[in-house]
Structure 1
Amino acid sequence: MKDVDYLIVGCGLASIAFCEELRAHNKTFVVFDNNSQKSSIVAAGLYNPVILKRFSEVWKAKEQLALALPVYRALEKELQIKVDYKLRILRRFTSIQEQNKWFTASDKPSLEKFLSTKLVKNTSAVIDAPFGFGEVLHAGRIDTETLITYYRNFLKQNGYFEEITFRHSQIEFVADGIQYQNIRTKHVVFAEGFGVKQNPYFKDMPLTGSKGEILTIEAPDLNIDYAIKSSVFIIPLGDDLYNVGATYDNVDKTNATTEKAKEELLSKVNTVLKCKYEVVNQVAGIRPTVKDRRPLVGQHAKHKNLYVLNGLGTRGVMIAPYVARELFQFVENSKSLDTEIDIKRFN
């Protein structure tokens, strides 16, 4: 019989951030993951403090960045890898009116730190951007696939990881906590992404799920080291490779790639790029999205040893460390959860 403080189900961005909270406070834990959820792995990984469609600030952007970036620096050091790539994000303008909206937004106190007031002119012959760009400051990209791969290996090497499917029906509620197979624990945290819809304890949460697909293209003539946001993102990966994405499908809940999504992305990227390119990869995953665009964090109404850490949507890179700390403080120190993320808001 193995005794741990926490049992965690899932190994995406939310789970990794929570594990780091546990390690920082010398808590013991074990993670169960069967690699069935792909949203964190296929994510673009951008941390971007601005909603570029509306030129407005991301919810709690300053607080999230202040927490998240030190976490990723520490993980790079611990795992001896590079995952945090500082990256200029240029918002492509389609008209003079959009330029004016950008400069108006940059005067707002909440956005002046994140929006450059200098118009960036297009200097590339293979990019169609006659109205230029606006630059987002304090942005970057986390290589989520590398991070998750190396973190899983780190957990395995230290005996913290079980690469098998978690069976919810085998949870036993005992006097001093929970027993699951040969593990005794005080708390179980479900960080299953869209997989939580199969969880009998939290399946009724208002998690809708949005399928996203991303292409990787090879474009030797593009030669840019910044990301472009237009009707799609074009994100440099190095070696003439770029991610193009993403789609939003609220009906299809499979991880299978589709020709429809590919055609949609190509039609959009063709409005921006005037160079030849080749599609070299396509991936898909289900984002755990919520109708009010806030995470789902909290405690089961009846079984007080069960918790959920979910609903990070499209901005998991930024949000994960924030919600992980909120949940840890709630469990360990009885600190009230932020009401905007507490699952009780849907009661």
Structure 2
Amino acid sequence: MKEVDYIIVGCGLASIAFCEELRVHNKTFVVFDDSSQKSSIVAAGLYNPVILKRFSKVWKAKEQLALARPLYSKIENELKIKIDYELSILRRFISIEEQNKWFTASDKPSLEPFLSTNLIKNSSEYIDANFGFGEVLHAGRIDTETLILNYKAFLKSNNSLFETSFVYNNIQFENDAIHYENLKTNQIVFAEGFGVKQNPYFNHLPLTGSKGEILTIKAPDLKIDYAIKSSVFVIPLGNDLYNVGATYDNNDKSNVPTEKAKEELLLKLGKFLTCNFEVVGHIAGVRPTVKDRRPLVGRHFKHNNLYVLNGLGTRGVMIAPYVSKQLFKLIETNESLDSEIDINRFNEK
């Protein structure tokens, strides 16, 4: 019987951030992951403090960025990998009216640190942007695939990763402890993404799920080192490769790429990209989205040593470190969660 402080189920962005919180506080843990959930792997990985459709601030953007950047830097240093790429995000304007809305938004105290007041003229002959761009500041991209693959290898090297499905029926509660197969633990944290819909302890939570699909294109003539946000994102990856995405489908809950989504992305891309390109990749995953656009974090209403860390939606790169720290404080010091992320907002209804 091996004893650990925590069992964590899932190995996406939320799980990794929570593992790092545990490591800082010298807590022992193991992770179960069967690679069934793809949302973190297929994520665009942008950390972007502005909702560019409406020119409004992301919820707790400053607090999230203050935790996220140091965490990913720490992981880079410890695992000797490169995952954090500072990246300008340029919002393509389609009219003078959009320009005016941008500059009006940049005057707001909450957005002033994140929106440049300089109108950026289009310098690429292969991008149709007659009205120019607005630049988002303090933005970048985390290479989520490299992060997750290397973090799993790190866990595996420490005998902390079980690459198998977690069997809920094998949980045995004994006083204040939990037995699971040959493990004994004090707490289990479920960070399963959309997979929580199969979890009998937390499947009552209103996780809706939104399927997203992303294309990778090779465009040798484009030669841009900034991301473009228009009707779709275009994100440079290096070596003339770019991610294009993403779609939103609230009905299809599979991880299977579809021709329909591919056509939708290519149609939108064709409205402003004029160079030749080749589609070289197409991936899909179901984001763990919630109807009120806030994460799902908290303690089970009956079993005090079962917890959920979920619902990070489309902004997992930014949100994961913030909610992980909140959950750790709840478990270890019984500090109250931010009411906007606490699952009790649904349990009480």
TM-score band w.r.t. shorter chain: over 0.9
Which AA in structure 2 matches 1:313? G
Aligned residue in 2 for 1:333: 333
Shift of 1:159: 1.1
Which AA in structure 2 matches 1:134? G
Which AA in structure 2 matches 1:107? D
1:305 aligns with 2:305: yes
1:96 aligns with 2:91: no
CA distance in 2 between counterparts of 1:173 and 1:23 reads 25
CA distance in 1 between counterparts of 2:189 and 2:231 reads 37
CA distance in 1 between counterparts of 2:298 and 2:223 reads 45
- Matched residue SS, 1:94: coil
Which AA in structure 2 matches 1:38? K
CA distance in 1 between counterparts of 2:289 and 2:177 reads 31
Superposed, which structure 2 residues align to 1:45-124 within 5 Å? 45-124=45-124
CA distance in 2 between counterparts of 1:76 and 1:37 reads 23
4+ residue stretches of structure 1 with deviation over 6 A? none
Which AA in structure 2 matches 1:191? A
CA distance in 1 between counterparts of 2:191 and 2:290 reads 15
Aligned residue in 2 for 1:195: 195
Aligned residue in 2 for 1:18: 18
Which AA in structure 1 matches 2:309? L
Structure 2: where are the runs of 5+ without partners?
none
Shift of 1:272: 1.1
TM-score relative to the length of structure 1: 1.00
Shift of 1:98: 0.1
CA distance in 2 between counterparts of 1:184 and 1:129 reads 59
CA distance in 2 between counterparts of 1:323 and 1:61 reads 13
Aligned residue in 2 for 1:133: 133
Aligned residue in 2 for 1:320: 320
Superposed, which structure 2 residues align to 1:116-195 within 5 Å? 116-195=116-195
- Matched residue SS, 1:16: helix
Shift of 1:180: 0.2
Aligned residue in 2 for 1:5: 5
CA distance in 2 between counterparts of 1:287 and 1:14 reads 12
Q: Percent identity?
A: 75
Aligned-pair Cα RMSD in Å: 0.4
CA distance in 2 between counterparts of 1:34 and 1:193 reads 12
Shift of 1:51: 0.2
- Matched residue SS, 1:99: helix
My pick for the range that moved more, 222-231 or 174-183, is 174-183
- Matched residue SS, 2:330: helix
Shift of 1:85: 0.1
- Matched residue SS, 2:206: coil
Structure 1: where are the runs of 5+ without partners?
none
Shift of 1:86: 0.1
CA distance in 2 between counterparts of 1:98 and 1:127 reads 18
1:207 aligns with 2:207: yes
TM-score relative to the length of structure 2: 0.99
CA distance in 1 between counterparts of 2:146 and 2:123 reads 32
Deviations 1:247-298 (A, max 9, x none): 0000000000000000000000000101000000000000000000000000
CA distance in 2 between counterparts of 1:276 and 1:324 reads 43
- Matched residue SS, 2:286: strand
- Matched residue SS, 1:336: coil
Which AA in structure 1 matches 2:83? V
- Matched residue SS, 1:135: strand
1:243 aligns with 2:209: no
Aligned residue in 2 for 1:265: 265
CA distance in 1 between counterparts of 2:98 and 2:108 reads 16
Which AA in structure 2 matches 1:323? V
Shift of 1:176: 3.2
- Matched residue SS, 2:335: coil
Paired residues, number: 347
Which AA in structure 2 matches 1:230? S
Shift of 1:175: 1.5
- Matched residue SS, 1:244: strand
